[in-house]
Structure 1
Amino acid sequence: MNIEKIKEKILAFSNDRQWEEFHNPKNLSMALSVEASELLEIFQWLSLEQASNLTDKKHEHAKQEIADIAIYLIRICMKLDINLEDAINEKMLLNEKKYPLIDENGNKIEYGNKD
């Protein structure tokens, strides 16, 4: 994925439509939430089996909503001058500390189902 090329495409699309005045972090975060809700709606009422085996139509719909989510997320990063790759790497380091594999006594920590 060439994030810089994607950012250029998103910015050009926005500028061509004179949407810059509307693309502030508040509005973009609300739009991101709406798109995430639209993705959620695809899976509403599906069983775990159905959710893992979407019809071609639902799969395409999910793909489009995921793209919308990514576009708004990247646009927010652009507005707030956040390097998404750096932010993800930093957050993963925090997650590793929050969810360690070994406890303070040297025992392996098991995450997930405990039957």
Structure 2
Amino acid sequence: MSSPFGKGLAFPPRVDASGRMLWSQGERNIQESIAVILRTDLNERVQLPAFGTSLNAFLFEPNNAATHARVAHAIDAALKKWEPRITVEAVDVAADAKATETAVATITYRLVATGAAQRVAIDVPLATS
């Protein structure tokens, strides 16, 4: 029986001891897909220019509530468009207490195939407030 989550090349791409490409599958494949979507800038992919989120575009934006809302919206829209295996429930963005030039985006989602709740966080570099 095949997995409802899919299978793809591991991200980042790597090889095993025998020199073969590693694959990821299951929930790990979805987590890697989310990372690819969030770390890809718009227009970065030649044949798919609308893919990604362009979180790097926020690099010089202030680390405040208005920027956090825009980052959350960009993440939510990109994941809803590019990752059909999940249902995004919430995207919370807040300043990192330890690094004033970083915001932390916490994404809460459910796997469509099983309904299992998952959470992933990503650092978003911003300017200091």
TM-score under structure 1 length normalisation: 0.31
Q: TM-score, normalising length from structure 2?
A: 0.29
Q: Which has the higher contact order (CA 8 A, sep 6+)?
A: 1
For the pair shown, the structure with the greater C-alpha radius of gyration is: 1
